[in-house]
């Protein structure tokens, strides 16, 4: 049931890897070892499903689509420079960016045995459930989206 709410299914974890050494602007493509969300790709999707709330204004307006959020995984695994690159409106871009900002530290990328910065582009898909769900199922799912954000 919560799966449809997780509109943010990562159709393709099209994470672009552009790495930069912290002491220079040299770009490494690809790096020896890409950064990783703790627990891997499945854990990333689970995190997004539990931490992104479909904005009420977007659902009322019927806004659907894919938001692209870019961010940098630094040498220590912290995320910085979180930016909504492509927004679909209705608060979807802000919801996706907020979830990314709240992510735990990642395992950093490595190039030649040294941790390096890597920039990612994360697609987050927002999709309103179709009428294939009964009104009772849709109501139940909407309640599930009202998750209290951890502070």
User: One digit per residue, pLDDT tens: the chain, 151 residues?
Assistant: 333 333 333 333 334 444 444 444 454 568 899 999 999 999 999 999 899 989 998 988 999 999 999 999 999 999 999 999 999 999 999 999 999 999 999 999 999 999 999 998 999 999 887 755 555 555 555 544 443 333 3
User: Is residue 47 a part of any domain in this protein?
Assistant: yes
pLDDT at 129: 76
User: Is residue 150 a part of any domain in this protein?
Assistant: no
Q: Phi and psi for 150 in degrees, rounded to 5?
A: -70, 140
Q: Are 120 and 71 in contact (CB under 8 A)?
A: yes
User: Is residue 113 a part of any domain in this protein?
Assistant: yes
Domain, as residue range, for 89: 2-143
**Number of domains the chain contains:** 1
Q: What is the value of pTM for the model shown? A: 0.69
User: Is residue 148 a part of any domain in this protein?
Assistant: no
User: Is residue 151 a part of any domain in this protein?
Assistant: no
Q: Strands (DSSP E) along the chain, which ranges?
A: 18-20, 27-28, 65-73, 79-86, 109-111, 114-126
User: Is residue 82 a part of any domain in this protein?
Assistant: yes
């Amino acid at each position: 049931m919560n799966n449809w709410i997780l509109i943010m299914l990562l159709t393709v974890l099209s994470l672009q890897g552009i790495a930069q050494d912290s002491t220079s602007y040299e770009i490494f493509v690809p790096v020896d070892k890409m950064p990783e969300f703790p627990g891997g790709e499945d854990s990333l999707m689970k995190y997004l499903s539990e931490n992104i709330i479909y904005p009420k204004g977007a659902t009322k307006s019927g806004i659907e689509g894919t938001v692209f959020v870019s961010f940098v995984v630094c040498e220590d695994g912290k995320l910085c420079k979180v930016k909504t690159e492509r927004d679909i409106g209705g608060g979807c871009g802000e919801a996706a960016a907020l979830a990314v900002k709240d992510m735990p530290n990642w395992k950093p990328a490595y190039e030649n045995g040294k941790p390096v910065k890597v920039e990612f582009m994360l697609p987050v898909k927002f999709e309103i459930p179709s009428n294939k769900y009964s009104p009772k199922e849709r109501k139940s799912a909407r309640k599930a989206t009202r998750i209290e954000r951890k502070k």
